[in-house]
Structure 1
Amino acid sequence: MEVKQAMLLYALTDRAWVGRQTLLEQVEAALKGGVTCVQLREKHLNATDFLVEARQIKERCQVYHVPFIINDNVDIALQCDADGVHVGQSDMPAEQVRQLIGPNKLLGVSVQTIDQAKVAEQAGADYVGVGAVFTTSTKADAVEVTMDELRAISAAIHIPVVAIGGIQENNMMQLAGTGIDGVAMVSAIFSAEQIEEQTRTLYRMARELVKE
Structure 2
Amino acid sequence: MLQFITHPSDKYTIAEEVQMVLEGGCKWIQLRLKDATDEEFRQTALEIIPLCQENEAFLVFEMSVHGVHLGKEDMNPLLARETMGAEAIIGCTANTADDIKKFRGWDVDYVGLGPFRYTTTKSKLSPIIGIEGYKEIVKEVRAADILLPIVAIGGVTIDDIDQLMATGINGVAMSGAILNAPDPVDYTRRSIEKLHEAFAKMKN
Candidates 101, 122, 125, aligned match of 1:118: 101
Q: Does 1:143 align with 2:116?
A: no
Partners of 2:164 and 2:16 lie apart in 1 by 30
Partners of 1:22 and 1:41 lie apart in 2 by 13
Amino acid at match of 1:113: T
Aligned-pair distance for 1:139? 2.6
Q: Quote the residue 2:5 is aligned against.
A: 12
CA separation of 1:62 and 1:204: change in aligned 2, threshold 3 A: same
Q: Quote the residue 1:210 is aligned against.
A: 199
Aligned-pair distance for 1:35? 1.2
Please list every run of 5 or more consecutive structure 1 residues that lacks an aligned counterpart in the other structure: 1-7
Aligned-pair distance for 1:186? 0.8
**Aligned-residue CA RMSD in angstroms?**
1.7
Q: Does 1:166 align with 2:150?
A: no
Count residues with an aligned counterpart: 195
Residue pair 1:175, 1:209 contacting (<8 A) in 2 also: no
Alignment of 1:46-125 (within 5 A): 46-70=37-61, 73=62, 77-78=63-64, 82-125=65-108
Residue pair 1:130, 1:150 contacting (<8 A) in 2 also: no
Candidates 164, 178, 198, aligned match of 2:167: 178
Runs of 4+ in 1 over 6 A off after TM superposition: none
CA separation of 1:183 and 1:153: change in aligned 2, threshold 3 A: farther
Aligned-pair distance for 1:36? 2.4
Partners of 2:173 and 2:141 lie apart in 1 by 15
Partners of 2:19 and 2:128 lie apart in 1 by 31
Partners of 1:123 and 1:36 lie apart in 2 by 25
Partners of 1:174 and 1:136 lie apart in 2 by 18
Partners of 2:100 and 2:2 lie apart in 1 by 20
Please list every run of 5 or more consecutive structure 2 residues that lacks an aligned counterpart in the other structure: none
CA separation of 1:153 and 1:195: change in aligned 2, threshold 3 A: farther
TM-score normalised to the size of structure 1? 0.85
Identical-residue share of aligned pairs (%): 31
Candidates 138, 149, 152, aligned match of 2:139: 152
Residue pair 2:97, 2:138 contacting (<8 A) in 1 also: no
State the secondary structure of the residue aligned to 1:122: coil
State the secondary structure of the residue aligned to 2:158: coil
CA separation of 1:194 and 1:46: change in aligned 2, threshold 3 A: same
User: Structure 1 stretch 156-165 or stretch 34-43: which is displaced more?
Assistant: 156-165
Residue pair 1:113, 1:149 contacting (<8 A) in 2 also: no
Q: Quote the residue 1:199 is aligned against.
A: 188
Q: Quote the residue 1:5 is aligned against.
A: none
Partners of 1:154 and 1:84 lie apart in 2 by 24
Aligned-pair distance for 1:148? 2.2
State the secondary structure of the residue aligned to 1:92: coil
